[in-house]
């Protein structure tokens, strides 16, 4: 004959065993569901590349006269201030060459600025 105290011990033991069995079965079911979701989820994904043509602003190539090398040859050579031909550490001919080079550089700079400025339209 089972006493109430023995009955409680046996019930607790059986309950714990059945709870452990339920937890293991639940864990197996959860793992199977996750595995199935991963397999079917990855297998059913199909990607299709769609090309969408969007106009993109493209800067025009600069005119060849802006990219041409400067036509100053040879470059002015500075001379010592004690040189009798020197007027500003340059000879008179070198000063003219330097002025021509600076004028060409300023003209080129203005041409680049005019080319790069967008139309006001």
Note whether 94 and 83 are within 8 A (CB). Answer: no
| pLDDT > 70: percent of the chain | 86
Q: What SS3 class is residue 94?
A: helix
Please indicate whether residue 1 or residue 64 has the higher confidence score (pLDDT): 64
Which pair of tokens denotes residue 105?
Answer: 């550089």
Q: What is the mean pLDDT of the chain?
A: 80
Does the predicted model carry a pTM greater than 0.75?
Answer: no
Annotated domain spans of the chain: 1-45, 64-116
The candidate with the shortest Cα–Cα distance to 96, out of 76, 81, 78, 82, is: 76
Which pair of tokens denotes residue 108?
Answer: 């080129």
Question: What was the pLDDT predicted at 106?
Answer: 92
Residue 101 confidence (pLDDT) above 70: yes
């Amino acid at each position: 004959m089972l006493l109430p105290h023995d009955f409680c011990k046996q019930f607790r033991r059986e309950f714990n065993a059945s709870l452990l069995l339920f937890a293991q079965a639940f864990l197996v079911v959860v793992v199977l569901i996750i595995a199935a979701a991963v397999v079917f989820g990855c297998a059913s994904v199909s990607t299709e590349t769609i090309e969408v043509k969007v106009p993109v602003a493209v800067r025009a190539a600069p005119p060849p006269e802006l990219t041409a090398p400067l036509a100053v040859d040879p470059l002015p050579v500075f001379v010592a201030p004690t040189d009798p031909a020197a007027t500003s550490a340059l000879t008179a001919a070198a000063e003219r060459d330097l002025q021509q080079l600076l004028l060409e550089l300023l003209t080129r700079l203005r041409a680049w600025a005019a080319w790069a400025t967008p139309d006001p339209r």
